[in-house]
Amino acid sequence: MNNVIEGADISIEDFLEENLDRTSDIQCFFRDANVFITGATGFMGKVLLEKLIRSCPEIGMIYILVRPKLGKSQVRRFYEIFEGPFFERMKSECPNYLSKVRLVSGDCLKPNLGLSDEDRTLLCACVDCVFHAAAAVRFDTSLRVAVITNVRATVDLLNMARAMPHLKAFVFVSTAYSNCDNEHIEEKFYEPPIPWLTLTLMAETLSETMLTKITPGILGKWPNAYALTKCVAEDVVRSKGDKLPIAIVRPSIVIATSKEPIAGWINNFYGPTGVVAGAGIGLLRSLHCDGNMLADLVPVDMVINCMIAAAWDVARSRFESTNSEIVAPCSEEEKESPEAEYHIVRSRFSQCKVKRKTISSSIPVYNFVSSNQRALTWQQFMSLNERAEPQIPSQLMIWYYCFHLNKHKSVHLLSILFLHWIPALLVDLGARLIGQKPRMVNAYKKIHRFSEVLSYFSTRQWLFNDKNTSALWRKLNEQDQKYFNFDIGSLVWEDYFYTHMRGLRVYLVKDSLDTVPQGIRKRHRFMLAHYTLIALVVSLLCLCFLNLFSFIWRR
Q: Is position 328 within any domain?
A: yes
Q: Is position 552 within any domain?
A: no
Looking at the fold, whether 199 and 215 belong to one and the same domain comes out as yes
Nearest-angstrom CA–CA distance, 121 and 78: 21
Residue 177: pLDDT band (50, 70, 90) is very high
The residue range of the domain holding 93 is 23-267+297-318+361-375+467-504
Q: Is the predicted pLDDT of residue 3 greater than 80, yes or no?
A: no
Looking at the fold, whether 444 and 516 belong to one and the same domain comes out as yes
- Name which of 104, 91, 175 is nearest 135 in CA terms: 175
Q: What digits encode the pLDDT tens for the residues 122-147?
A: 999 999 999 999 988 887 788 999 99
Helix (H) or strand (E) holding 288: strand 286-288
Looking at the fold, whether 422 and 447 belong to one and the same domain comes out as yes
The reported pLDDT for the residue numbered 343 is 52
Q: Is 461:437 a contact under the CB 8 Å cutoff?
A: no
Helix (H) or strand (E) holding 448: helix 440-458
The reported pLDDT for the residue numbered 352 is 61
Looking at the fold, whether 388 and 371 belong to one and the same domain comes out as no
- Selected residue with higher pLDDT from 319 and 113: 113
Residue 40 buriedness (CB in 10 A; 0-12 / 13-18 / 19+): buried
Average pLDDT value for residue range 359-372 = 85
Helix (H) or strand (E) holding 172: strand 169-173
Residue 14: pLDDT band (50, 70, 90) is very low
Q: Is the predicted pLDDT of residue 280 greater than 70, yes or no?
A: yes
Q: Is the predicted pLDDT of residue 340 greater than 80, yes or no?
A: no
- C-alpha neighbours within 13 Å on the C-beta side of residue 459: 16
Q: Is the predicted pLDDT of residue 317 greater than 90, yes or no?
A: no
Average pLDDT value for residue range 271-294 = 91
Q: What digits encode the pLDDT tens for the residues 92-108?
A: 999 999 999 999 999 99
Kindly list the distances between the CA atom of residue 491 and the CA atoms of 297, 373, 487, 550, in Å, as whole numbers in the listed order.
11, 9, 7, 61
Percent of the chain with pLDDT over 70: 88
pTM of the model: 0.85
Looking at the fold, whether 18 and 62 belong to one and the same domain comes out as no
Looking at the fold, whether 339 and 392 belong to one and the same domain comes out as no
The reported pLDDT for the residue numbered 2 is 44
Q: Is the predicted pLDDT of residue 359 greater than 70, yes or no?
A: no
Q: Is the predicted pLDDT of residue 310 greater than 50, yes or no?
A: yes
- Dump the DSSP string for 121-138: HHHHHH--EEEE------
Q: Is position 327 within any domain?
A: yes
Residue 547: pLDDT band (50, 70, 90) is confident
Residue 20: pLDDT band (50, 70, 90) is very low
Q: What digits encode the pLDDT tens for the residues 369-420?
A: 999 999 999 999 999 988 888 888 889 998 888 899 999 999 999 999 989 9
The reported pLDDT for the residue numbered 46 is 94
- Selected residue with higher pLDDT from 325 and 3: 325
Nearest-angstrom CA–CA distance, 179 and 125: 35
Kindly list the distances between the CA atom of residue 325 and the CA atoms of 43, 168, 335, in Å, as whole numbers in the listed order.
46, 22, 14
Q: What digits encode the pLDDT tens for the residues 456-486?
A: 999 999 999 999 999 999 999 999 999 999 9
Most confident of the following: 275-279, 322-326, 334-338, 471-475: 471-475
The reported pLDDT for the residue numbered 326 is 53
Nearest-angstrom CA–CA distance, 464 and 296: 10
The reported pLDDT for the residue numbered 337 is 57
Q: Is the predicted pLDDT of residue 528 greater than 60, yes or no?
A: yes
Looking at the fold, whether 340 and 368 belong to one and the same domain comes out as no
Q: Is position 554 within any domain?
A: no
Of the candidate ranges 14-23, 73-82, 455-464, the one whose mean pLDDT is the lowest: 14-23
Q: Is 134:108 a contact under the CB 8 Å cutoff?
A: yes
Q: Is position 262 within any domain?
A: yes
Q: What digits encode the pLDDT tens for the residues 105-120?
A: 999 999 999 999 999 9
The reported pLDDT for the residue numbered 13 is 39
- Name which of 104, 204, 218, 72 is nearest 151 in CA terms: 204
Q: Is position 199 within any domain?
A: yes
The reported pLDDT for the residue numbered 447 is 86
The reported pLDDT for the residue numbered 391 is 87
The reported pLDDT for the residue numbered 319 is 56
The mean pLDDT of the chain is 86
> How many domains are contained in the chain?
3
Looking at the fold, whether 261 and 200 belong to one and the same domain comes out as yes
Average pLDDT value for residue range 352-366 = 66
- Selected residue with higher pLDDT from 186 and 336: 186
The reported pLDDT for the residue numbered 16 is 37
The reported pLDDT for the residue numbered 7 is 36
Percent of the chain with pLDDT over 90: 59
Looking at the fold, whether 115 and 175 belong to one and the same domain comes out as yes
List alpha helices for 111-177, DSSP H.
Answer: 117-126, 143-147, 153-161
The reported pLDDT for the residue numbered 446 is 86
Q: Is the predicted pLDDT of residue 432 greater than 70, yes or no?
A: yes
Looking at the fold, whether 258 and 328 belong to one and the same domain comes out as no
Average pLDDT value for residue range 440-452 = 87
Looking at the fold, whether 366 and 312 belong to one and the same domain comes out as yes
CATH number at residue 238: 3.40.50.720
Looking at the fold, whether 405 and 480 belong to one and the same domain comes out as no
Q: Is position 27 within any domain?
A: yes
Q: Is position 399 within any domain?
A: yes
